[in-house]
Amino acid sequence: MKKTVLKKMEELYGDANGAKVYFAPGRVNMIGEHTDYNGGHVFPCALTIGTYAAVKKRADRKLRFYSMNLEKLGVIESSLDDLKPSDAADWTNYPKGVMWAFAERGMKMDCGLDIVLNGNIPNGSGLSSSASLEVLTGFYLRDLFGFDVTNVDLALIGQYSENNFNGMNCGIMDQFASAMGKKDHAIFLDTADLSYQYAPLVLDGAKIIVTNSNVKHSLVNSGYNTRRKESEQALADLQKVVEIKSLGDLTEEEFEANKSAIQDAVCAKRAKHAVYENQRTIRAVEALKANNLKEFGELMNASHVSLRDDYEVSCDEIDVLVEEAWKVDGVIGSRITGGGFGGCTVSIVKDEAVEAFQEKVGAAYQARVGKTADFYVVEIGDGPSIVE
């Protein structure tokens, strides 16, 4: 990948002298979905797939971006004097947003950059290609300009830019997972205060399989922001009767005792998911520590049902993938992962069932939906790095 991006840089920009190559991973979330902006726990891990960038400084203030994944768009030019979101900027709104967010914090770039990107995260898969790109941008800015920021700061800056530059009201999980990844570990993160611990995710005799539905509904941004508003309304209603800062502060029992305070039935369903999913995530990590993979899988399954019925962020195609996965012997657990409305499922599958899983789920999906699913047996990797 390093040779590929450097060769492309030479082709496009004349030379690659002084260029450095950087990497930031995508992520998959094992459990704890739509809890990150509700003050709950999440349990993601960084993947060994992600986004690579060759970057070199320029002598002027020009910015030149090129993505090998979106070659039709060609080189997109901008400038440090034009760090504003626009439709014409297309995907470069993500790195430009991070540059803008650094400047907002008083960390201003003193020259422009030539950038070539190449990612091996499937587009629209829900494996956080956008967060990977944001963390990658922050990481190379820190390295090239000597900005004094930690990896946690990189996650927060990425989230801030996506919220305020790109208008996507995401929580912290995706950026945190990319910035703080650790090989063979998932991150048990309390999004209320960003306290976290690494939990080993070495699955003896089983594999993590991500299944891409190859469906991305246009609801993603609008639906996501709507869910967030509904959760916030439920929280505001609950705060009239119970002293909490977030939905993540409630146990299931406390929620059931106070849920009548929520005025709107849809908002009540959203809050129920946030509360129950948070408790499922806490129990899932305990199960993993106790080496109880069976319970972990059952909690994954319950998570999917809640995301389908209470949070309503699944879709027919994803439900088919999960239903078919549950039918296969050797599947420990399977659920939707990511923001929803398409994207991917994540499954834990016993080694001896991996082949049958791909064949059976793939065939059933083709028969029921008329589409082809893609399967990735994923490995858990580290956070961002300079590619030597």
User: Which residues are the active-site residues?
Assistant: 174
At 140, the amino acid letter reads: Y
Phi-psi domain of 18 (left: phi exceeds 0; alpha: psi -120 through 50; beta: other): left
Q: CA nearest 230: which of 164, 274, 165, 170?
A: 274
Place of tokens 């922050």: 138
Mapped to the 3 state alphabet, what secondary structure does the chain carry?
A: CHHHHHHHHHHHHCCCCCCEEEEEEEEEECCCCCCHHHCCEECEEEEEEEEEEEEEECCCCEEEEEECCCHHHCCEEEECCCCCCCCCCHHHHHHHHHHHHHHHCCCCCCCCEEEEEEECCCCCCCCCHHHHHHHHHHHHHHHHHCCCCCHHHHHHHHHHHHHHCCCCCCCCHHHHHHHHCECCEEEEEECCCCEEEEEECCCCCEEEEEEEEEEECCHHHHHHHHHHHHHHHHHHHHCCCCCCCCHHHCCHHHHHHHHHHCCCHHHHHHHHHHHHHHHHHHHHHHHHHCCCHHHHHHHHHHHHHHHHHCCCCCCHHHHHHHHHHHHCCCEEEEEEECCCCEEEEEEEEEHHHHHHHHHHHHHHHHHHHCCCCEEEEECECCCCEECC
CA torsion angle 65 153 125 44 (round to 10): 160
Rounded Cα–Cα distance for residues 50 and 48 (Å): 7
Tokens of 241: 């009767």
Q: Are 325 and 211 in contact (CB under 8 A)?
A: yes
Tokens of 44: 């993601």
